[in-house]
Amino acid sequence: MKYFLVSMLLLCGAFGFSQTPIADSLNQVNSVDFKKAKAEIAIFPKAEKVTGKVNYEFDVLKATDSIYIDARNMEFEEVLLNDKKVSFRNSNERIWIRKPFQTSKNNLLQLKFSAKPQQAMYFINWQISDSINAPKQVWTQGQGKYTSNWLPSFDDQREKLEFDLSISFPKEFKVIANGKLVKKEAINDSLTRWNFDMKKPMSSYLLAIAAGKFFQQKENSASGVPLSFNIQQELKQNLEPTYRYTKEIFDFLESEIGVPYPWQNYRQVPVRDFLYAGMENTGTTIFANAFITDSIAFKDRNYVSVNAHELAHQWFGNMVTAKDNKDHWLHEGFATFYSLLAEKEIFGDDYYYWKLYQSAEELKARSDKGKGEAVTQLKASSLTYYQKGAWALHILREKVGREAFNLAVKNYLETYQFKTVSTNNFIAEVEAVSNEDLSEFMRKWINQTAFQGTEALNSLKKSEFIKSYLELAALRETRFQDKEALLSAALDFPVNDYLGQEVVYQLAGETSTGAIALYRKAFKSNNVYVRQAIATSMEKIPQELKPQFESLLSDESYITKEKALMKLWMNFPEDVGKYLNKTKGVQGFTNKNVHLLWLTLNLVSPGYEPQNKTATYQELSGYTREYRPMELRRNAFGFLYQINSFTTQNLLDLMQGTQHHDYKFRNFCRELLDELLKSDDYKQKFLVLSNRLSKKESGYLKSKLP
C-alpha cells in the first residue's frame, strides 16, 4: 500500500545527513590509539552549560611530539597525564598536549572542562516560563556539527573507542544515552545521575543524549535484544502508530543481514525541532517530533522508512564505518537499501519497486542535465549517496544473486566489525564469494557520474506492476476517448494504489460524460489513495460529483481532508458552514495542517461563527510562538501571510525564527521577512520593534534594512 507519502521537507538532507570530515590533514590515528573513555558530565539546561571530566585511556603506537583532543570553545580547569599535571594549549578547536611521547601502553589523559555549546547540544524551551505548557528537552546531534562542542572527543570518525557516560540532570526528567543504563542515583534534592555503560568501540559522532519527560514502552526482539520506545509524556496515545512495525523491522534486519545486532540495546526517542529526520546514534536513534503520528496520519506520513533506515545504520555506519568521505555511500546507500528491503517485507513488492522507480526517475533526470555524480564523489548530494547507492546495491544483488550477496555482506561486517573500511574492501568480499570480476560494475555504478537508466529500467521491468504502470503512464498524451477503456480497466476492483492514482491524474481537467463516469468509479473504489488523488488534482468540482467530493471529508487521510476542505470552500461558498462544521476539531499532522486551514477559512468566511472571530484569530496567531514545534510555527506563519494579518508578537516570533538552530526553518523565516520588508508598512513595524530584539536578531534586521 502507498505508505511512501513522507514529507519531502523532512527528508531533504535527511537521515544520517552529512559527512563527518576527517580532522584536517592530521592523522593521529596512525600514532595514537584511544581505547576507552569514561566521562562524567553535568548538564545545566537553564544556563545552557555543560561541565564535567573525562578520562581517556590510550596507547602510543609510535613516537610522536604531541597528541590532541577536539574541543570546541571549551575551558579546561585541569589537565592530567598519567596523574600528573601537564602543560597544554587550547586553540578553541582542540586541546594539544605537546611533549615527546614514546611507544607505550595504558596511558591516562584526564580533562576537567566546561562549555556552553553553540551547536551539537540543543536546549529546547528552557527559557520559557514554567507557567506555559512547553515541553523542555535537551538533545544532541553529533554528525555534521560535532560532539566536540559538548564533550572533548574526536571529530575524526576513524577514531573508535568505548564510551561510558555518566550524566547529571534535573531529577524530574528522563535521560536517554548510548549503552546500558547500569545505575540511576539521586545526587541531591534536584539532580539525578544516570550511568550508562558501553561494551564496544564507536566513533564520537555517534554519542547521544536526549533528556525530557518521556513515556517509555519496553519490548524484546526475537533474539532477545532490549528495545525501548519513548515518546513525549502527553503524546503517549500516539506511541503505537508512531512505532508501528518497529519490532518486525528489527527482526527482519537481523535475519536478512545475517549478523546479530552489534550493540547492547536499542532505544528510540522523538524530540522537538530536530535538525533532520533522524540520526542513527549508537544504540540510540533520535528522530524528529514531526514523525509522531496517529493511525490516520500513518496512512499519509509515517516513521517506518526513517525507522528502518536508522536501524540499518547500526550495522552500516556504526559497526563498520567508512574510512574516508568518498566512501560515505557505505553508510547511506546501505541504510537506504536495507530500509527498502524491510519496507518491502511490510508493504509488499509493489511498494519496493515503486520506491525504486521514483528514485530512478529523479536520478535519471539529474543525470540527463549533466548533474550526475559518482557514489564515491566527495561532497556529492544526498540523492547520490542514498538513492544511487541503494540502486547500486540492488543491481549488485541481482547480478551476483541473493545468496552470494548476503554471504558477502555477512563476511564484510564480520571481517571489519568495529573498524573502518573502504569501497574496495566491500567489493573484494563480493568478488571472493561470487567468483565474479566486478570491475565493470564498479565502473558503471560506483565510479561513473551518469545514472545507468537503461539497466535500471530493465531491472524495474522484472516487476509486473511496474510494467503495467509504465504502460498506463505512456497514455498521458493520448486523447481521452482513445484510452477510456484502458483507464476504466485500471479502476477495476481491487484497485492498485499507484495505477488508480495514475488514472485520476490523467483525468484531471476532463469533464466529458465518460470522464465523470470514471471519476464515479474511482470514488467507489474506496481506495484511500485513489480518493486522495482526486482531492489533490481536481480543481473545478463538477456539480454532479459534489456529493462524492463532499464524502472525502470523512476519509481516513489528513491530506485528503485538508485538500477536500480547501477545494469545497472554493467551489461551493454557499455551503461553507456545512464543511467547516464537518471538520471542526480535526487537527491533522503535528503541524496541525487541517486545523490551521480550518481556522483560516473560518476567519475569511464572514458569515461563519462571527461571534468567535477574535478567539479564532488569537488561536491561529498563537501558533507562531517560539515554544511551539517549528513545523507548526511554519504552517501558522504561512496562513497568516495568506491573510496578511500579523500581530506585533507574530513579528517578534518571526525575528526569533531568523536565528533558529534548524537551517530549514531559519531560511523559511528569513525568506518571509524579506517578503514582508518589501512593504513600507512592515518596514516601519519592524523598526519600531528593534529595541525588543536580541543582539543577533537586531543585527540581522539591520542587515536587511537600507
**pLDDT higher at 51 or 18:** 51
C-alpha cell belonging to residue 692: 525588543
pLDDT in tens, 392-434: 999 999 999 999 999 999 999 999 999 999 999 999 999 999 9
HSE-CB at 509 with a 13 A cutoff on CA atoms is 4
Q: How confident is the model at residue 27 (pLDDT cuts 50, 70, 90)?
A: confident
Question: Which residues sit opposite 44 in a β-bridge?
Answer: 49
Q: What is the pLDDT of residue 143?
A: 87
Q: What beta strand segments (E) does 326-440 contain?
A: 419-421
Asked if pLDDT for residue 7 goes beyond 80, the answer is no
pLDDT in tens, 330-388: 999 999 999 999 999 999 999 999 999 999 999 999 999 999 999 999 999 999 999 99
pLDDT in tens, 161-193: 999 999 999 999 999 999 999 999 999 999 999
Asked if pLDDT for residue 692 goes beyond 90, the answer is yes
Using CA atoms of 326, 327, 333, 338 in order, give the dihedral in degrees to the nearest 10. -170
The Cα–Cα gap between 323 and 331 comes to 11
pLDDT (average), residues 239-260: 98
CB 45 within 8 A of CB 170: yes
What is the value of pTM for the model shown?
0.95
pLDDT (average), residues 200-209: 98
Residue 281: phi and psi, rounded to 5, are: -55, 150
**pLDDT higher at 463 or 12:** 463
Asked if pLDDT for residue 253 goes beyond 90, the answer is yes
Residues 6+ apart with CB under 8 A from 422: 322, 323, 324, 327
Using CA atoms of 680, 686, 687, 689 in order, give the dihedral in degrees to the nearest 10. 150
pLDDT (average), residues 485-496: 97
Asked if pLDDT for residue 144 goes beyond 80, the answer is no
Please report the DSSP string for 517-559 in residue order: HHHHHHHHT--HHHHHHHHHH--S--GGGHHHHHGGGGSS-HH
pLDDT (average), residues 494-518: 97
Please report the DSSP string for 299-313 in residue order: HHS-SHHHHHHHHHH
The Cα–Cα gap between 343 and 311 comes to 12
Q: What is the pLDDT of residue 38?
A: 98
User: CA 687 → CA 556, 646, 671, 678, distances in Å?
Assistant: 46, 15, 18, 14
Q: What is the pLDDT of residue 26?
A: 67
